[in-house]
Structure formats: structure tokens, C-alpha cells
A and B are shown apart, each in its own frame.
Chain A
């Protein structure tokens, strides 16, 4: 909460303890109070201005993070597959050029990523290379926690960079949506932000059926019991979450009305698109795609098949299904950021896999993204003293770019320090289309759906 908001709270009678962040109910109450006071009596803090404008504004960028859990082998996702040094380094694990998708600069997308490559050629994909930080260790948990918390001193205090953004610029209960029913990921956790965590199936949305008087009475009881009162903190917190779940169920129920695809990531991505289409004021969404911890046999008969190739295939199909399921206006507003806690080590290990490494690519995808290659690729020969790729860009530089250009606010408060930003990577509106008009793209998507009907199930008519 900003200092200004605290001062305003004090003016309102000091009912709120200024030493801790406000919870949802307090913020609502405070907002009402602030509005009643009205006029020039109190300045409306920016966080509330955002809430009020969330519905009215329909041009804000929506940030969708896709977290590749386990540490993605970035070098085999997009790499110099024709390069002799690469082939020497990777040996059996090297991805063949045949079937790969050239994107210039001697780089290729993996053969199983043709859809993303197509999107790249249209100018909608930015690849930032060499992203990471000098590692303190190579643990999944601490690296993911450092990426997600993004505190300048590496301290993990339970909040994440996007959770702190939501704290400061809150967009209400649906400002942040976590897909998957696995809890709110660290990067979306704030001190006061309420993030809605959607399960993968819609049948269990208790609170969505309002047809029975009997149920309505129970919803009221659960809601009322959930309000803060004089009882232990965790009891209050449980009650609050119970009450929120009742409200959230009704709001998101339409997303589950039509059947969802079977495939795990595609299902989640289509669900994410449908929730965004509901126009609930959502600004940040997270999805997980796990299984990238490819220590053991990451390839099949060669690198075009096997575990890692299958993951990239799922990712490729999932991203495509996501954009195809977005309504027209929302498709223009979304920026997808694909990242992982680290890359893999340069050299394969002894079991046709790769161990935990350092830097890797971050992908940004969307109509507002100025596509292309960014950052310096870590040299294949000049590895660090542990045989890892060098880090050429701090991940917080990417975050500061995303916060400033996609979320449209300053990044210093969220990141706790000033970081560099890549100039003009993301626009406030759609950027020019290198690959044809909107109509051409719509036609191309229709054709692709036709030729590839089993890839995914797309909403016939996205609902608003």
C-alpha cells in the first residue's frame, strides 16, 4: 500500500492499523469510505483508481506467464542447430537441422515448434537470450523461488514480483488468475493481493449454482462466517478464502460451460483464454507446464522425439490453442511470457539427459510484442568455469521491461531496485503485422484448424 493511501486511511479515522497491508474487506470498506468522502476531501490513491477503471478500460495489456517447471533446455528449444560447435557440444542430443525452423541469425526452432516459428515469422515473438542470474546454487526450488520472488538481495520473503504489482495496482479478485488448482504460485503472491486459483475441472465450482434457495442460504452463511472477526489469524484467513471461493465460482462458471480439450497444457491454455474472454478485469494469469527436468533420456531415437521434444510439442500446440481461443479484442491485448527457473548444462550428462544449468531464453509472444531476437547469445565455447552458459542478461531486466511496457507502470517499487529495460519491446497497442492483414491471419488460423483438427479443441464462438 502506498504512503498516500496510508495517509488517506489515517484521515478517515485511523480505523485501519497502518502497520499491515489491508485485506480485501478492508480495502472494499476503505474504498467505500473514500468515495463517500468524495470530491476534493481526500485524494483517491492510484490503486483504487485502477480498480474503478478496470472495467471501463479495455486496452490494458494482459500478461500471461507460462512457467516451464524443471528447467527447460533452451539450447535445444531454439538453438544454432547447424553450428559445428553446437553439434560437438551436444553430440547425440543435438537437434538435426532437417525439419527445424530457421528464424535467422543461424538459429532454429526445434522441429516440434512449427507453430511458434510461424508466429515468430509474423513478428509476434521476441526471444530474449542468455537470461538468468549468477547462480548461488542449482536447486529447482531456490532458483524458481528467486525467479518468482525477484527480490534484489535474493531474499525470499513470501511475495513475488507480480504479487507485489497486484498489491500496488490491484485489479480486484480476478486481477490475478492461477490456472491448475495447485495453489497460487510464488510470483503472484502479494501481501494483500487476492489471486483466484482455478481448478482444471469445472464440476467442482461450489457456489456457481444459484438455482436453489437452499444453496443460496448456505452461500450466505459461508460468506458471513468468512468475514474478519475477533479470532485467530488463520481462522480469519480460512474464512476469507471460503467466502471468496463462493463469489469466484459464479463469475468464472461460464468458462467451463463448453467442453475443454483433453491434453493437459492445451486444456489449461484454453481455460485461461476463456477466463480472459470473460473480461473480469484480469491482468495477470499463470499456467504451469511441468516435466522439463530432463536429467534422464531426454531424447528418443534422436532429439526430434522423446521427452523433451514431446514437451515442446505440447507447448507449441498449447500456445496456439490459447491464441485461437481468445476473442478478437483480447487476442490483441495479451502478452505471453514463457520462462523457466534455469536452462540445462551445456554438455549432456551420462544418461542422455542434461543436468541443471544457468541461463536460457525467455519468450514473449503477442500482437503487442515487437518480434525478433534480443540479448547476446551466450557463446558456446566460452563457458563459465563450471561448464555452464554465461548469463548475458539479468532476468530482472526482462521483468522491468515487462512491468513498464506490458503492465504500464513503474518497476522500481515492484522489483525493489532499478533495472535496465529493453527499449520498445512491447507496445501499448498492437504493432504492425509483418505477415499480412488481420483478415489474412484469421484465414491462416482457420486453415490451420482445418488441417490439424486433432491438435486441439477450439471454442467455436468465444464468449465475452
Chain B
């Protein structure tokens, strides 16, 4: 999730390997709070807001390691929305799985998410019963979580749904006064024990068998290809060649789908370090906000982040669909630009309170431009960006006795370079 200029400076002079090893070392990351930190009784909306604020603050303050961005990747990949799930508690349980198991074996992560209450509810597997199958989870498990579209048949969807029948939550029972109980339970009476043909193999498939087959069996190539491509696109750029993906996928398979192995290969990849990959991704609103907040010494509560991120089109724990959020063009709308520009325009007054813009009076306009862009770790801004920040400084100074650079500072946050990674 980036870092301050000072943090970035500590990486100067390291080899690629050493730098990657350092960000991959998550052993010293701070511990995690218990549910009690968010529990309000039954105010799910407020609980979600507290979870968002906690996560944003953690992204701002945690040491620069892979943990936060990788957790965001998995939240997007296994997109589940509090709006449908209802209970924020279940989203927190899922978040802990993404965080605590997001760096190990993919099969383990996939299983914990699939059998987790949040997902069972979100994709309706709680109503998937033998004889009246419900295909929602079965389809997305293949299309979005593992092999990708076009790599399974409609017959596979039918068989997959049957294999997942009976895997459920306790639900609302008489014993519990019809109060909904989200605890996982296998309802043997609702499970289909028949012979089913899945991926051309005929047997009595059960849920866990299907995950093994997707990860290690006949679908291992498709799954490793899908995940390698998606992770590369999240971290590097959106157009990897098939050869690059094949190479990453082969290594991923050889490690039995070890996530750290795949991520490490991506972070060490020549294309990750290539000049052409600089500015190849548009920052998502959460990445943009975290970067700005951190550099300005702010925390989530200072800026009511939930409301801000909603305006920018990205509310944590509430992705728009099971496909999650998109990338690049997905974030480029007038609506999102309005929300961002309005926010940074308000932030400019913080610069005064925090003394960020002191001692600029004696600098010439070009030096002020450099100070502001350096504040955002932009060392390679285009001439056009520099020219018009400079013009703004000159015209502002011409009008005022004092030269506090509020406007150039705000516009700097909004510079096209600052919004890309």
C-alpha cells in the first residue's frame, strides 16, 4: 500500500531480492483486534464503518509489507458484500481468513472461504438442497474464484451445485427461537449422494473433492493460469503476455499453489521493475486515500473515510458484485473524479494546521513545485504537470501578499501522476 517518502528512502540501495524479502517478511506486523473492537450489539452498518476505519488506519500505519495489499487483493477476488450477508461479524470472520490464510496454500484459503458463513450466505449455498439445487455458488466458484469463464461446461455447473448441496449454516431453528444462526453445518439429509459427472469424471462428488480437483486435479492448469494472470494484473500491469502468465502459473503449480511463491515471482519479475510498468495502473480509491492520508499525517476518523470512499466508488466490505471491483478504466469516471477532487480540495486546509507548507515563501516557484511533488514521492512528473502547478503558484502569489501554497498543494494531490501507480 505504498509508504512515506522516508520509508521509501530506506529501500534505496537494496537489491531486488533484498527489497522483496523485506516486504515479504510479515512476522513483525502488529497483532489483530478481536471482534469486541467492533461489536455494537446489532448495529451492522456502524460495525462495518468501524471495520473500514480500522483497516484504513492499519493500511496507513502498518510497516510496509505485502500483508495489506494482498488482503485487499483477496477481498476483491472473493468479493462478498456486507449488504447481502447482513451481519458484519461474518465479514470480520472472513476478513481474518483472508488475512491469516492469504499467504499460504490457495487450496486452504479457498476451502476456508467457501465453507465460511459469509460466502455460504452471499452466494446462496445455504438454500442449495438436493432435489432443488441452487447454482449461484457453484458457478461463481469456477468462473470467478478458480478456473475462469469458458473453462467449464453448463453440465459442470449442475454437477457442482449437487456436490455442494447440504453445506449450509445452522440457519433459523425452532430450538433457537427462529433466530438466525450462521454457524457452518453439514445437513446430511439435504446432500445429494448420487453419482455425478464433473469435469468428465463420474463419482459421488462432495464439496471438498471439487476444490481438490479445481486446485490439483484436471483443472490445476486452468486455475493456476487464472490466478497468476489476475495477480500479475493487480500488481504490475493489465496486459501480461501468455508466456509470462504460463511461466508464473507453472511455478505456482510446482509449489502446490503456494500464494507467497506466486507473489514473490511477480515481485521479482523483470516486468514488475520495468520502466514501462511505472504508471501502468490507476490507483483504486482505497489506495489513493490511504496514500494521501498517510502523507498528510491523517487517520480515518479525521476524514470520515467510509463516506468518502463510497463517493469514489469503493466501499470496503461492500464490493458492487461478486466479480469485485475492476481496474484502471473502472476507476475513471467523472463521479469518482468529483469525489476525489472535492476531498483533496477540503484537505488543503489541513496543510496549514499541520505545518506542511511552511517555509515555502522564500523558494522560487519551481522549487515549490518540487517540494509538493516530492511530498507525494513523484520524482518524474511530466513537464505539463510541472508547468501548470508552477503557473498556479505564480498567479496565486501575484494576488496575495502571503504565499501559502494551499491551491498548488491541493492540485498536487490531484495531479494525474499521483493518481497512478
- A: residues with CB less than 8 A from B are 135, 137-142, 158, 178, 180-184, 189, 196-199, 201, 204-207, 213-214, 217-218, 220-222, 224-227, 229-232, 234-239, 241-242, 244-246, 248-249, 293, 295-296, 349-351, 353, 355-356, 386
Distance in angstroms between the alpha carbons of A137 and B151 in the assembled complex: 11
Query: Does B377 interact with chain A (Cβ within 8 Å)?
Result: no
Query: Known: A137-B154, A225-B415. Is A199-B339 also a contact (CB below 8 A)?
Result: yes
Choose, from B292-300, B326-334, B352-360, the stretch at the interface: B326-334
Are the CB atoms of B396 and A217 closer together than 8 Å?
A: yes
Q: List 22 A-B contacts (CB under 8 A).
A: A137-B143, A138-B135, A140-B321, A140-B322, A141-B143, A141-B321, A142-B143, A183-B336, A199-B338, A205-B342, A217-B392, A218-B407, A221-B408, A234-B282, A235-B382, A235-B417, A238-B332, A239-B416, A245-B341, A248-B334, A350-B133, A351-B124
Are the CB atoms of A181 and B154 closer together than 8 Å?
A: no
Question: Which chain B residue has the least Cβ–Cβ distance from A350?
Answer: B132
| Minimum distance in angstroms from B347 CB to a CB of chain A | 12
| Minimum distance in angstroms from A440 CB to a CB of chain B | 40
Please give, as numbers and ranges, the residues of chain A lying within 8 Å of B388 by CB-CB distance.
220-221, 224-225
Are the CB atoms of B417 and A198 closer together than 8 Å?
A: no
Residue from B279, B334, B335 within 8 A of A234 (CB atoms): B279
Query: Does B221 interact with chain A (Cβ within 8 Å)?
Result: no
Distance in angstroms between the alpha carbons of A151 and B281 in the assembled complex: 27
Are the CB atoms of B338 and A204 closer together than 8 Å?
A: yes
Please give, as numbers and ranges, the residues of chain B lying within 8 Å of A242 by CB-CB distance.
337, 341, 414, 416
- B: residues with CB less than 8 A from A are 124, 127, 129, 131-136, 139-140, 143-144, 149, 154, 157, 278-282, 311, 313, 320-323, 326, 328-339, 341-342, 345, 382-385, 387-389, 391-392, 395-396, 399, 407-408, 410-411, 414-417, 419-420
Question: Which chain A residue has the least Cβ–Cβ distance from B415?
Answer: A225
Are the CB atoms of B282 and A218 closer together than 8 Å?
A: no
Are the CB atoms of B407 and A234 closer together than 8 Å?
A: no
Residue from B140, B332, B383 within 8 A of A237 (CB atoms): B332
Please give, as numbers and ranges, the residues of chain A lying within 8 Å of B135 by CB-CB distance.
138, 355-356
Residue from B140, B154, B339, B416 within 8 A of A204 (CB atoms): B339
Residue from B333, B396, B415 within 8 A of A183 (CB atoms): B333
| 3 tightest A-B CB contacts, nearest first | A350-B132, A181-B335, A351-B127
Most B CB contacts (10 A, CB to CB) among A142, A204, A205, A293 go to: A204
Per DSSP, chain B at the interface is helix
Most A CB contacts (10 A, CB to CB) among B322, B396, B420 go to: B420
Are the CB atoms of A217 and B395 closer together than 8 Å?
A: yes
Are the CB atoms of B339 and A353 closer together than 8 Å?
A: no
Are the CB atoms of B411 and A225 closer together than 8 Å?
A: yes
Residue from B143, B410, B416 within 8 A of A218 (CB atoms): B410
Query: Known: A198-B335, A218-B410, A295-B124. Is A231-B392 also a contact (CB below 8 A)?
Result: no
Distance in angstroms between the alpha carbons of A248 and B419 in the assembled complex: 20
| Minimum distance in angstroms from B369 CB to a CB of chain A | 11
Are the CB atoms of B341 and A296 closer together than 8 Å?
A: no
Are the CB atoms of B392 and A206 closer together than 8 Å?
A: no
Please give, as numbers and ranges, the residues of chain A lying within 8 Å of B313 by CB-CB distance.
181-183
| Minimum distance in angstroms from A252 CB to a CB of chain B | 9
| Minimum distance in angstroms from A352 CB to a CB of chain B | 9
| Minimum distance in angstroms from A142 CB to a CB of chain B | 6
Question: Which chain A residue has the least Cβ–Cβ distance from B393?
Answer: A221
Are the CB atoms of A295 and B389 closer together than 8 Å?
A: no
Are the CB atoms of A183 and B330 closer together than 8 Å?
A: yes
Distance in angstroms between the alpha carbons of A218 and B407 in the assembled complex: 6
Distance in angstroms between the alpha carbons of A434 and B68 in the assembled complex: 62
Query: Known: A181-B313, A205-B338. Is A232-B149 also a contact (CB below 8 A)?
Result: no
Please give, as numbers and ranges, the residues of chain A lying within 8 Å of B342 by CB-CB distance.
204-206
Are the CB atoms of A353 and B127 closer together than 8 Å?
A: yes
Please give, as numbers and ranges, the residues of chain B lying within 8 Å of A235 by CB-CB distance.
279, 382, 416-417, 420
Are the CB atoms of B414 and A196 closer together than 8 Å?
A: no
Number of A-B contacts (CB under 8 A): 191
Question: Which chain B residue has the least Cβ–Cβ distance from A235?
Answer: B416
Distance in angstroms between the alpha carbons of A180 and B336 in the assembled complex: 11
Residue from B154, B341, B384, B395 within 8 A of A206 (CB atoms): B341
Are the CB atoms of B334 and A197 closer together than 8 Å?
A: yes
Distance in angstroms between the alpha carbons of A235 and B276 in the assembled complex: 12
- Contacts A138-B135, A138-B154, A350-B129 known; list 14 others, CB within 8 Å: A137-B157, A142-B143, A199-B311, A205-B342, A220-B391, A221-B408, A224-B388, A225-B384, A232-B278, A232-B279, A238-B282, A239-B416, A241-B332, A351-B124
Please give, as numbers and ranges, the residues of chain A lying within 8 Å of B335 by CB-CB distance.
180-183, 197-199
Distance in angstroms between the alpha carbons of A139 and B332 in the assembled complex: 26
| Minimum distance in angstroms from A335 CB to a CB of chain B | 25
Query: Known: A236-B416, A353-B127. Is A142-B281 also a contact (CB below 8 A)?
Result: no
Are the CB atoms of B149 and A139 closer together than 8 Å?
A: yes
Please give, as numbers and ranges, the residues of chain A lying within 8 Å of B322 by CB-CB distance.
140
Are the CB atoms of A139 and B143 closer together than 8 Å?
A: yes
Please give, as numbers and ranges, the residues of chain B lying within 8 Å of A232 by CB-CB distance.
278-280, 420
Are the CB atoms of A218 and B149 closer together than 8 Å?
A: no
Please give, as numbers and ranges, the residues of chain A lying within 8 Å of B328 by CB-CB distance.
234
| Minimum distance in angstroms from A345 CB to a CB of chain B | 10
Residue from A224, A238, A295 within 8 A of B420 (CB atoms): A238
Residue from A137, A206, A350 within 8 A of B127 (CB atoms): A350
Please give, as numbers and ranges, the residues of chain A lying within 8 Å of B124 by CB-CB distance.
295-296, 351
Are the CB atoms of B337 and A245 closer together than 8 Å?
A: yes
Are the CB atoms of A296 and B127 closer together than 8 Å?
A: yes
Distance in angstroms between the alpha carbons of A140 and B408 in the assembled complex: 45
Distance in angstroms between the alpha carbons of A198 and B338 in the assembled complex: 9
Please give, as numbers and ranges, the residues of chain A lying within 8 Å of B395 by CB-CB distance.
217
Question: Which chain A residue has the least Cβ–Cβ distance from B237?
Answer: A234
Most A CB contacts (10 A, CB to CB) among B134, B157, B337, B410 go to: B337
Please give, as numbers and ranges, the residues of chain B lying within 8 Å of A142 by CB-CB distance.
143, 149
Are the CB atoms of A349 and B332 closer together than 8 Å?
A: no
Distance in angstroms between the alpha carbons of A290 and B140 in the assembled complex: 19
Are the CB atoms of A351 and B134 closer together than 8 Å?
A: yes
Question: Which chain B residue has the least Cβ–Cβ distance from A184?
Answer: B333
Distance in angstroms between the alpha carbons of A87 and B188 in the assembled complex: 32
| Minimum distance in angstroms from A221 CB to a CB of chain B | 4
Are the CB atoms of B341 and A234 closer together than 8 Å?
A: no
| Minimum distance in angstroms from B81 CB to a CB of chain A | 12
| Minimum distance in angstroms from B94 CB to a CB of chain A | 20
Question: Which chain B residue has the least Cβ–Cβ distance from A247?
Answer: B334
Are the CB atoms of A229 and B282 closer together than 8 Å?
A: no
Please give, as numbers and ranges, the residues of chain B lying within 8 Å of A214 by CB-CB distance.
396, 407
Are the CB atoms of B334 and A244 closer together than 8 Å?
A: yes
Query: Known: A199-B339, A206-B341. Is A139-B139 also a contact (CB below 8 A)?
Result: yes
Distance in angstroms between the alpha carbons of A91 and B391 in the assembled complex: 71
Distance in angstroms between the alpha carbons of A445 and B237 in the assembled complex: 54
Are the CB atoms of B149 and A222 closer together than 8 Å?
A: no
| Minimum distance in angstroms from A153 CB to a CB of chain B | 14
Question: Which chain A residue has the least Cβ–Cβ distance from B127?
Answer: A351
Please give, as numbers and ranges, the residues of chain A lying within 8 Å of B345 by CB-CB distance.
206, 218
Are the CB atoms of B282 and A231 closer together than 8 Å?
A: no
Please give, as numbers and ranges, the residues of chain B lying within 8 Å of A355 by CB-CB distance.
134-136
Distance in angstroms between the alpha carbons of A227 and B408 in the assembled complex: 18
Please give, as numbers and ranges, the residues of chain B lying within 8 Å of A180 by CB-CB distance.
335
| Minimum distance in angstroms from A2 CB to a CB of chain B | 24
| Minimum distance in angstroms from A441 CB to a CB of chain B | 35
| Minimum distance in angstroms from B76 CB to a CB of chain A | 14
Distance in angstroms between the alpha carbons of A235 and B392 in the assembled complex: 20
Please give, as numbers and ranges, the residues of chain A lying within 8 Å of B337 by CB-CB distance.
206, 241-242, 244-245
Most B CB contacts (10 A, CB to CB) among A139, A180, A189, A230 go to: A139
Please give, as numbers and ranges, the residues of chain B lying within 8 Å of A189 by CB-CB distance.
329
Are the CB atoms of B334 and A350 closer together than 8 Å?
A: no
| Minimum distance in angstroms from A358 CB to a CB of chain B | 12
| Minimum distance in angstroms from B343 CB to a CB of chain A | 9
Are the CB atoms of A234 and B392 closer together than 8 Å?
A: no
Please give, as numbers and ranges, the residues of chain B lying within 8 Å of A229 by CB-CB distance.
382-384
